[in-house]
Structure 1
Amino acid sequence: MKRELTGGHVLAITLAAFGTIIGVNLVMAANAISSFPGVETASPYVASQHFQADRAAQQQLGWQADLTLVEGRLALHLTDAQGQGVAPRTLQLMLRRPTHQASDQQPRLNPEGPGRWTARVDLAPGNWNADLIAEAHDGTGYRLRLPLHVRP
């Protein structure tokens, strides 16, 4: 028995195809919105007014940061231009996934010597951002985002 393709069949096929596309787009948009980590700053315009001066002051410090992860042990090294360990007044490290907030964590950094800190972390494989925020004893801020790739 041969079936005839009617206008109703074509309409049903078209509606099913577009319905699938629209449904997938709605699911993806809802997932993107629910996992959005948020804004970096409350007012980008105000932050931009101080950016150059803050960057110049940070560069004057001459600090270099190095972050490594070996078998769940995170090691942070912070040195000055002469390679000597730096002891900032305040130090904070936040580990973030680039795409969502659910896995964000702030490890407890344990001092291991001049300019050296370690922490035990349990990070899922993939890409992470380590946001380092420190303040020198003269009040100069130091902000740096270090990429970190965790292998499976």
Structure 2
Amino acid sequence: MSEHLSKQRQFTGWHMIAVMALFFGTIISVNAVMAWNASRSWSGLVVANSYVASQQFNGKVAETRAFEASGITGRLTAEPGAVRYVVTLNGEPAKHIDRVVATFKRPVEEHEDLRIDLDRQGAGAFLAAEKLKPGQWIADLTAISGDAVVHRQAVRFIAPGEGK
């Protein structure tokens, strides 16, 4: 009878293989899910000093809320060979905007970044006749009236290729 009980409760090498497979399988599965989520949700934002960026966060949020409350809005349109930015104040062209400065950046890389003064095309309309490479870009746009910054906006967009 004792021989029969000992056979039932033996821990064999197959049991050990199953335990190890379940253990490492769980760890690998969780890591794969976390890596997939991280790669799908990362914005590409990189800062030189995260501590300084965190200290400036509340000020940037307050500035953004003030810009939103001003009634000024901007709309960016990407065309092959040009980028158009239209600034409106409560739905009407913003005639008081003197100039718009744009910084075009790739979401991840820095070597293609460029800063451009957009050309005024009329009341509230500005054009950058810059030929951007096709693909994703982030435009940091600053609208200036006199010496004061009156609107700031960041827009992520896709620059079309020549044939599109």
TM normalised by structure 1 equals 0.63
Q: Percent identity?
A: 21
Q: Structure 2: which 5+ runs fail to align?
A: 1-43
What amino acid is aligned across from residue 73 of structure 1 in structure 2?
Answer: A
**Residues 138/108 of structure 1: CA separation in 2 closer, same or farther (3 Å cut):** closer
Partner of residue 93, structure 2: 84
Partner of residue 99, structure 1: 108
Partner of residue 72, structure 1: 81
Is residue 76–residue 116 contact of structure 1 (8 Å, CA) maintained in 2?
yes
Q: CA RMSD in A?
A: 2.7
Higher Cα Rg, which structure: 2
1:146 match: secondary structure: strand
CA distance in 1 between partners of 2:160 and 2:111 (Å): 19
Q: Structure 1: which 5+ runs fail to align?
A: 1-35
Number of equivalent positions: 117
Is residue 109–residue 118 contact of structure 1 (8 Å, CA) maintained in 2?
yes
Whether 1:56 and 2:68 are equivalent positions in the alignment is: no
CA distance in 2 between partners of 1:89 and 1:113 (Å): 10
Whether 1:126 and 2:149 are equivalent positions in the alignment is: no
**Larger strand fraction of residues:** 2
Is residue 98–residue 129 contact of structure 1 (8 Å, CA) maintained in 2?
yes
What amino acid is aligned across from residue 69 of structure 2 in structure 1?
Answer: Q
